[in-house]
Amino acid sequence: MENREIARTLEDVADLLDISGANPFRVRAYRNAARTVKEHTRPLRAMVEEGADLTELPDVGDDISGYVEELVETGDLELLDELTEEVPYSLIELTRLPGVGPKKTKKLWERLGVETVDQLEEAAGAGEVQELDGFGARTQEKILSGIEQYRRHQERFRLSEADRLVAPLLEHLREHDGLERIEVAGSYRRRKETVGDVDLLAISDDGASLMERFTGFDRVEEVEAAGDTRGTVRLDSGLDVDLRVLPAESYGAALAYFTGSKEHNVRVRKRAVRRGLRVSEYGVYREEDGAGSAEAGDDAGDGSDPRSGERIGGRTEEEVYAAVDLPWIPPELREDRGEIEAAEAGELPGLVTRDDLRGDLQMHTTWSDGKQSVAEMMEACRDLGYEYLAVTDHSQSLGVTGGMDEEKLRRQWEAMDEVEDRVDGIRLLRSMEVDILADGSLDLADGMLEELDVVLVSVHSRFNLPADEQTERLVTALRHPQVDILAHPTGRLINQRDPYAFDLDRVLDVAAGEGVAVELNANPSRLDLRDTHLMKARERDIPVVISTDAHRAAELELISYGVEQARRAWLEPEAVLNTRPADELLAALPGD
């Protein structure tokens, strides 16, 4: 059992206790312990196996330590079973709806008998919710739109979640003797920020036994289909996985087909038809006279044999593209957003890679809400091969994060002077993630801003301002002469929070005018700006900075998600400021 799952179980206990009206201190104890477990870097499973004393962890006492051991050893928690005899488990889902929470959940359950999201939707739709005291028409409205947002966000998995869930499955399949090769196709290979399901392709001459191994994976909850060449399972996380088994000669064609996107494939097949060819998941075939369908659209269901005609290729993706007179196209571009035209003209972009980056320009340390020291972050960045980093702790208005006022910032600078003497081989830039206040002013005095190497600004509060006020707030901040970079510009959290309402085009116009850079926040929950927004920035020649916003050294690795998103936006190294050496980077930023 992973730390995440242990933490989730403890959170479930807290929610159920909270709904049942337990002592708030007891509820908080479970929540705090859940956070400790979630953030702990070592697997608690390993600690339990070693017989380590878990009570040495913050917020973990004798009771909770016992529960963690029970969970690790049995996979179950008797306490949870007892609680769900009193309080339906499905109520936990209600507490996660925007604007609901445990207190309201309790009332909805006791007064209306609501136990599920569906039942709540029905009750709110029928106007029953607004009749309860403490609710009212506005709350009911909010609950309905919250359910809608929740549903929209439930459907797809974040790419990083898919990565985490797929890795052990791939490992499990790779142990199979007859397996020659396996790869993940679909939106996962295109590195889309979320995936609907995961599409695996394998080469093996023993499909049946590979399929058996696939359906026998211990995280499989349900087998939806399982034949010799294709199967679909649902993992216990709710993620669906397709597996297709192919002969080696079809591998390239199948990889191209199942990588998609569908829109991209349609364009490729149209080109094939014009050349008297047929491209299917089995290969590239020359049409026999009269056998070709003039219809170039979707081949699924047109009734003809996808393997008819003389086979002329399909072992590699390059062969498929070459057959339609195109160079190989990187998966991140395969969205029919102009890549076919660019490929035809020999003008595919030379996409930015992880190795092009020379530094990371957003991270937090123990000076605010980060978990590691400046020295540790410097060393970690140096180990990643970077030439520089900017430490960007929060400013004072974010009190909960330990945000810094002037006096604390000065102390940080003094401490940094000393750290620089100890840590060699990497340059430390003085920076700060300065909060943009509601009126667009900045949360640090001008005299201090002037002394920073890089001024990063961002919004962390008042997400609900009317769109025109939010836009003005951002514009005012961008016009401040010391501002260099606008961090996580839309504020969205994938699957959790929509972007705040504002006019992005206008903000980008002002950024372009002021020479301010925009951040591509690489955290896989943010990816902000996203691909389509970055394309808007690219059109305006706005420089982009890819940063992790790491709160611990391990999170610096998440930079790869940012690079992938940048590639989906067609960004070349020249468009990304932190591909440049530090002096060039500083010269390119507007604030002096």
CB burial of residue 300 (10 Å; 0-12, 13-18, 19+):
exposed
Please, what is the angle between helix 531-539 and helix 504-514, to 10°? Answer: 40
Closest listed residue to residue 475, CA positions, set 463, 455, 457, 488: 457
Count of residues touching Ca ion (by CB under 5 A): 5
152 part of the interface to ligand DGT, by CB under 6 A? no
Near ligand DGT by CB under 6 A, which window of 3-11, 190-198, 416-424, 447-455? 190-198
135, 150, 214, 258: residue in contact with ligand DGT (rule CB under 6 A): 258
CA distance 482 to 447: 10
Distances, alpha carbon 426 to alpha carbons 366, 454, 547, 586, in Å: 19, 16, 17, 15
C-beta of 9 vs 525, nearer to Zn ion: 525
Near ligand DGT by CB under 6 A, which window of 45-53, 83-91, 252-260, 339-347? 252-260
Q: Which does 262 bind (CB under 5 to 8 A by kind): Zn ion, Ca ion, ligand DGT, none?
A: ligand DGT
- Cα-to-chain-centroid distance, residue 210: 30
CA distance 302 to 323: 22
- Contacts by residues 398-401 (CB-CB < 8 Å, ≥ 24 positions apart): 398/368, 398/435, 398/460, 400/369, 401/364, 401/368, 401/369
C-beta of 101 vs 196, nearer to ligand DGT: 196
196 part of the interface to ligand DGT, by CB under 6 A? yes
Single-letter code of the amino acid located at 87: V
Rounded CA Rg of the chain? 27
Near Zn ion by CB under 5 A, which window of 99-107, 241-249, 454-462, 579-587? 454-462
63, 197, 344, 420: residue in contact with ligand DGT (rule CB under 6 A): 197
C-beta of 435 vs 453, nearer to Zn ion: 435
Q: Which two tokens stand for residue 435?
A: 């909060």
186, 252, 403, 562: residue in contact with Ca ion (rule CB under 5 A): 186
8-state DSSP, 201: E
3, 139, 397, 458: residue in contact with Zn ion (rule CB under 5 A): 458
CA distance 218 to 588: 52
Min CB(362)–Zn ion separation in Å: 8
Q: Which residue reads 């439930």 in tokens?
A: 154
Q: Which two tokens stand for residue 66?
A: 């016992």
Q: Which does 306 bind (CB under 5 to 8 A by kind): Zn ion, ligand DGT, Ca ion, none?
A: none
C-beta of 105 vs 547, nearer to Zn ion: 547
C-beta of 3 vs 458, nearer to Zn ion: 458
292 part of the interface to ligand DGT, by CB under 6 A? no
5, 69, 141, 197: residue in contact with Ca ion (rule CB under 5 A): 197
205 part of the interface to ligand DGT, by CB under 6 A? no
304 part of the interface to ligand DGT, by CB under 6 A? no
Count of residues touching Zn ion (by CB under 5 A): 1
DSSP per-residue codes, 544-568: EEEE--BSSGGGGGGHHHHHHHHHH
Cβ atoms of 103 and 91 within 8 Å: the answer is no
- Binding residues for ligand DGT, per CB under 6 A? 186-187, 195-197, 199, 257-258, 260-262, 265-266, 298, 300
